[in-house]
Homo-oligomer: A and B are copies of this chain.
Amino acid sequence: MAIRSEQSRLAILQATIRLLDEREHGSMSVQQLSIERIAREAGVSKATIYRWWSSKAALIIDTFLENHITSTTIKEDLPAIEALKEHAISLAQVYSGHEGALMAQLIAESQYDEATLADFKKSFFLPRREMINAVIRRAMEEGAIRDDLDINQVAEHIYSPIYFRLLFKEGSLDRDATGLSFDITMQGLKPS
């Protein structure tokens, strides 16, 4: 039989994170990063990587998951609106650094491959959305958000300005700007 080598798996993931690391020699972009290089760096055969990951993007997504990257908690004890606001602000702050660049590059890669986009959404979006949707639902119950809207569309309105700024490097991702943006959005979402 010969089971999958955990040692190789880890070596590959660690080589990947090391090559993407901001403090290293130049910190490669996702585009510059090559399977070839990762294999060399990890002391692993290229075939082993291809055996277990379908694409460079899939490997990078796994690397992110393994390294608990870009997780933001939601404070359950606050009023729903404020919990959402805190979440938005902390997400924006995470995105203003190196992890934001990586996230932007993953979104970029997703434009070239359906499967990558699907994988990306499954791994990052849906889990987070489930959490956030619960809070949105709570806000609807609290009467702070219109309850005649699709929940996903509400989430979209909350997130989209943050991703816009991330991808276009336009406007700030700091606390104040994100808070103001959130308030405007909420003004549009509250019941009339």
| Chain A residues at the B interface, C-beta cutoff of 8 Å | 29-31, 101, 104-105, 107-112, 117, 121, 125, 149, 152-153, 156-157, 159-161, 163-165, 167-171, 180-181, 184-189, 192
Asked if A181 contacts B157 (CB within 8 A), the reply is yes
Q: A153-B180, A156-B171, A163-B164 are in contact. List 13 more A-B contacts (CB 8 A).
A: A29-B112, A104-B111, A107-B111, A107-B167, A108-B111, A117-B168, A153-B181, A153-B184, A160-B164, A163-B163, A167-B167, A187-B192, A188-B188
Residue of B nearest to A107 (CB): B167
Q: Give every chain B residue within 8 A of A186 (Cβ-Cβ).
A: 188
Q: Which residue of B lies closest to A105 (CB)?
A: B111
- B30, B104, B171, B188: which contacts A185 (Cβ < 8 A)? B188
> A2 to chain B: closest CB distance in Å?
10
Interface of chain A: mostly helix, strand, loop or mixed: helix
> Of all chain B residues, which has the CB nearest A182?
B188
CA distance A125 to B164 in the complex (A): 13
Given known pairs A111-B105, A185-B188, the reply for A167 and B163 (CB within 8 Å) is: yes
- Closest Cβ of chain B to A149, distance in Å, is 8
* Given A121-B168, A184-B188, A109-B112 contact (CB < 8 Å): no
Most buried by B among A31, A109, A152, A168: A168
Question: How long is the Cα–Cα vector from A101 to B112 in the complex, in angstroms?
Answer: 9
CB–CB A156/B167 < 8 A? no
Q: How distant is the Cα of A169 from the Cα of B125 in the complex, in angstroms?
A: 12
A185–B156 Cα gap in the complex (Å)? 11
Chain B residues with CB under 8 Å of A149's CB are 184
A161 pairs with B156, CB closer than 8 A:
yes
Instruction: Please give the distance in Å from A169's CB to the nearest CB on chain B.
Output: 6
